[in-house]
Amino acid sequence: MIGIAIAGAAGRMGKTLIEAVAQRTGQLELRQATVLKEDPSLGLDVGLLSLGRPLQVLTQGSLDASNFDVLIDFTSPRGTLENLAACASAGKAIVIGTTGFDDKELALIQAASQSIPVVMAPNYSVGVNVSFKLLELAAKVLGDGYDVEISEAHHRYKKDAPSGTALKMGQVVADCLGRDLDEVAVYGREGMGEERDSKTIGFATVRAGDIVGDHTVVFAGGGERLEITHKASNRMTFASGAVRAAIWVETMSPGLYSMEDVLGLE
């Protein structure tokens, strides 16, 4: 039985993760769930947050790294790094779904992976990770003769933009085309400017309503257009992938792994 801890249990993703873990009875056991110290759900049975039935696990305001095997964290960069430090000190594995890290924060995650197994991915949907492989194929075959534009849409509460998934899509394409994404990325356009540079990769972002997550990469050439699209209709697709990653990483040696590693797509 693999012991699971969930950070941010009162959030939209946290509640879905509780449900996903509960579906793996006999394989996984939820042993800990954290919420913000000022959250009104602090001290409540975590099962009542999403399942409507008790799980005999009370929410707590900080992580205790003594009684679980793998932490799943979809919170914030600051919160994730605090939990990562606790996991590293206790030798516990972690699955990170948080996005929006800067370079210094990414370096801290890389350093922690020297001592514990870490899975980090911008998106835990199996379909999205398959789309990364499709983008590699499309970019390699189409080459420089096609303009690349990436659009993404998420709910109004998402803070980082473009999404981590959109950036990963852009990175996959840029790497295949031999481009530096930092140099060729264009984040939004307005006003009168130069005509489009064929080497650029454009990003467009929508934040509205309760959109779970839509991503489209367009390869536009003379006379044709190829679009690779993924649309998520609920968060369970991400939660199920994260749980799959938690089961996989529990037996792994220290290192920094991706969802492609989990799925055997590398």
Residues noted as catalytic? 154, 158
256 vs 85, 95, 103, 172, CA distance in Å? 15, 10, 15, 18
Burial of 173 (0-12, 13-18, 19+ CB in 10 A): buried
Long-range CB pairs of 227-233, under 8 A, 24+ apart, other chains included: 228/131, 228/134, 228/135, 228/138, 230/125, 230/127, 230/128, 230/131, 232/125, 232/127, 232/128
Phi-psi region of 262 (alpha: psi -120 to 50; beta: other; left: phi over 0): alpha
Comparing CA positions, the residue from 216, 211, 213 lying closest to residue 232 is: 213
